Structure 1
Amino acid sequence: MTTPLLSLTWTDEVTGRQGFLVIDRLVRGVSSGGLRMRPGCTSEEVAGLARGMSLKEALHYDPEARYVPLGGAKGGIDCDPRDPEAYGLLVRYLRTMRPYIESFWTTGEDLGLTQEVVDRAAAEAGLVSSVQAVYPLLDDEAGARRRLADAFAVEVDGIGLDELVGGCGVAESVLTALDRAGVPRWRTRVAVQGLGTMGGATARFLTRAGLTVVAVADIKGTIANPAGLDVESLLAARDAYGTIDRAALRRGDRELPGEAWLSVEAEVLVPAAVSYVIDASNQGRVTARWIAEAANMPVRPDAEEALAARGVTVLPDVVVNSATNAWWWWTLFGDIGASADEAFAHTRRSMRALTDLTLARAEADGTTPRAAAHAIAEDRLPVIAERFGRHR
């Protein structure tokens, strides 16, 4: 991994907890990357995520589009978001990071934090917006901000559009892989770990595409049904953290231990919660043909190597879960309007093209999809730097 442009560690004077910010690189003086809050978050983790953001931004570079990819960054706070001290800690972190957010770090929701909470805390910390650093790059700032606000107000079946586009992108990546392999959707079973924003939307889109979700896992354990789960009822029964009320289970639904989702009979696994959940010690339990990384860095490198040797394809996070970030910028820069139909159509088209390109490159190079995606991004980074200046 290359050395990031900036890496800092902050210690909260009130609680003694730590927060981190890593700016991997800047493009036109600005970087993009969400803010996560989880117990055990480390600076090394945040650095890896920031590098991943640089790659995601580069993968979505289209010289004909209004949206110009930014640099990569990430923030992290070592705290359980359910902790009573979490919100005050978040406000103090944002207040400390205010100069960076005002100048060159655009951020938003990530693991453990919703955009609503980030926005509320940002306002309390004295910020205009968590993405205000990008405003000077806009041709019509007022119109762009209004368009993004309108897009965030859009709901589809009672769920905010901003909570759905990421899962739409994950689902499209999975569908592209299935189509390339000639695997019928109706014969494809899916297990999802994490039924929060990303996992829940992914389960919904895959179900509506004709796949069968046979297992979902949350903090309480795994819920499984080989005949298929009622995804909509489970989504309606989850709390703000993606934990499912077990009263919503139907006859035939079984409660299993937490890691059971790894080894259920399914063709596709979707880790959509925390990082590092599949490692060398448990990868042997995986029987699926594909793993779609809806979460950031859920598969450790040594596990991925062993999985590849067994014929399991990992669809990498830098491709699979990149639609949420891209949707923000497609909307803000004006490539799409504040419309669910436009958002989903553009997301599907872009994610299908990117996934197809990645899988084709992997086949041509004889490498993994992750290596192929990184190669594509590394090809584009110098092109972006040449066009907009070398800010790293």
Structure 2
Amino acid sequence: MREELLNNPVFHMAAEQFDRTADFLGLSNDVRERCKWPKRLLTVSIPIKLDSGETHVLFGYRVQHQLSRGPVKGGLRFHPNTDLGEVAALAMWMNWKCALMGLPFGGGKGGVACDPRTMSVKELENLTRRYTSEMLPFIGPETDVMAPDMGTNAQVMAWMLDVYSAHAGHLVPGVVTGKPVNLQGSEGREAATGHGVAFLATRALSKCQLDPDKATAIVQGFGNVGYYAALTLSRFGIKIIGISDVTGALYHPEGIDLAALKRHLDSTGDIKSYPDADTIDPDAMLVQECDILVPAAVDRVITEHNAADLKCKILAEAANGPTTPEADAIIEKRDDIFLIPDILCNAGGVTVSYFEWVQNIQRFQWSEQEVLSKLDTMMAKAFDRVLAFARYKKIPHRLAALSLGIQEVAEVKQQRGLFP
């Protein structure tokens, strides 16, 4: 019954990663079962009135994987392919991510099955407000704190904040993160995930004894995460030679001017017509030679069909679940790619969300320099822990990162015990 309820390839992939790690850790079956399955699976219908006047019913989801270590934390996405199984997988990964980073959160994730690109601002506002009202009994600063994800942004968080605060009768800034700064959002939050990806990628260059000034990178995805990852990498002196998004892919061995490309995207809505780089098949772009490959788009893009053909030295997983278990096996056997696993690599977003939550509790704002400095310190600490554990146990980086996160949750489960 549990497997049927969460019948989704992304959840099966997350569960397979968990099972492998639980086997490695030797978790007892009772703790293993409690760690694996989500605490709450919420599904709601969301009737909204469209601009045409007709009423349309959408389906929304929220999965709270664990609350043992604190309130759950995780994004809200608006995407047509969203379903309960995908959301459950993302909540599970977020749980291990928060534990790995030492954040006092469990993992959560939400989503609505819709295409925000086809909706007006008013329709998106109606959708957001109705979804939030349906979730009111289950969210709050000490229960569940949402943040932007695919298809959502700071404005969506502002609408959510308004609904919750109106219900509470006073401003409750800590109910969401990723808010506009003038609504007690945090400086640096927008760039946080991409900044963290680039920061760890440059540390990996050092571990591989590669010079950043001579290094190249390919970034799949030019949304929030991919853009800031590429921008920060270029500021470290790394040449961006390939970029793609949903409209197409570009490749230019001499480097792509990110500022010019962003202006072009903002004015035309696509990158494929950008004149100062060659178009390339998006799948072919992934296997071009480079020092750093950053999958920053969707899940399951590195598979058994292309893993053997990768020509990168560092694989920095900015997306959630970009590499399948079958591809992992190939990469581990190759042993020539430095993997920065997703629950570590893209943890910058949730870490700065934690900073925002703390600032909201304190009613005190930090500068962007303070935020990014604190982020770099925490990312470096987690990076070093994962590498040291991997060396000590002689295991791959993904297994090391998952082991540290899952073991933390398992220990808390054992310490708190099982309520009869």
Give the TM-score of the pair, scaled to structure 2: 0.78
Identity of paired residues, percent?
A: 27
Q: Is it true that 1:69 corresponds to 2:99 in the alignment?
A: no
1:383–1:129 distance in 2 versus 1, CA, 3 Å = same
Summarize deviations over 1:48-94 as a string: whole Å, max 9, x none: 11111111111122xxxxxx511111112222221225553333222
Correspondent of 2:310 among 272, 286, 303: 286
Structure 2 residue 362 is matched with structure 1 residue 362: no
Say if 1:244 and 1:364 are closer, same or farther in 2 by CA, change over 3 A: farther
1:223 is paired with a residue of what secondary structure?
strand
The structure 2 residue matched to 1:105, chosen from 144, 147, 162, is 144
Unmatched segments (≥5 aa) in structure 1 = 62-67, 135-144, 155-160
Alignment of 1:222 onto 2:269: no
- Aligned partner of 2:404 in structure 1 is 376
1:57-206 mapped onto 2 (5 Å cutoff): 57-61=98-102, 69-84=104-119, 86-102=124-140, 104-124=143-163, 126=166, 131-132=174-175, 149=183, 152=186, 154=187, 161-206=188-233
Matched pairs, number: 365
With over 3 angstroms needed to count, the CA separation of the structure-2 counterparts of 1:170 and 1:48, relative to structure 1, is same
Higher CA-based Rg: 2
* 1:131–1:237 CA distance, 2 compared to 1 (3 A): farther
| 2:38 matched residue in structure 1 | 4
Q: What amino acid maps onto 1:289 in structure 2? A: K
Q: Structure 2, unaligned stretches of length 5 or more?
A: 1-14, 16-35, 48-54
Matched AA of 1:181: C
Which of these residues, 332, 342, 364, is aligned with residue 317 of structure 1? 342
In 2, Cα distance between equivalents of 1:147 and 1:194: 25
Q: Is the 8 Å Cα contact of residues 220 and 258 (structure 1) preserved in structure 2?
A: no
- Matched residue SS, 2:193: helix
Secondary structure of the structure 1 residue equivalent to 2:285: helix
> Is 2:403 the partner of 1:349?
no
Contact 2:307/2:330 (<8 A) preserved: yes
Distance in 2, matches of 1:391 and 1:193, equals 44
Q: CA deviation at 1:362?
A: 1.7
Tell me if structure 2 keeps the 8 A contact 1:27–1:390: no
Q: Which of these residues, 59, 62, 72, is aligned with residue 31 of structure 1?
A: 72
> More deviation in 118-127 or 294-303?
118-127
1:243 deviates by 5.2
Q: Which amino acid aligns with 1:176?
A: R
Amino acid at match of 2:404: I
| Deviation of the 1:6 alpha carbon | 0.8
Q: Which residue in 2 is equivalent to 1:54?
A: 95
Confirm or deny that 1:304 pairs with 2:328: yes
Q: Counterparts of 2:185 and 2:145 in 1: how far apart (Å)?
A: 18
Report the alpha carbon displacement of residue 333 of structure 1 after superposing the two structures with TM. Answer: 2.0
Verify the 8 A CA contact 1:12 1:18 in the aligned structure 2.
yes
Q: Say which SS state the counterpart of residue 75 (structure 1) adopts.
A: strand
SS at match of 2:116: coil
Deviations 1:220-258 (A, max 9, x none): 111110011112222343349x954556542xx111223
Q: Which of 236, 242, 248 is equivalent to 1:209?
A: 236
In the alignment, the residues of structure 2 paired with residue 257 and residue 200 of structure 1 have an alpha-carbon distance, to the nearest angstrom, of: 20
Q: In the TM superposition, what is the alpha-carbon distance from 1:307 to its structure 2 partner?
A: 2.2
Instruction: Give, in whole Å, the separation in 2 of the partners of 1:11 and 1:171.
Output: 39
Relative to the length of structure 1, the TM-score reads: 0.83
**Equivalent pair of 2:212/2:238 in contact (CA under 8 Å):** yes
> How far apart in 1 are the matches of 2:118 and 2:417?
41
Amino acid corresponding to residue 162 of structure 2 in structure 1: A
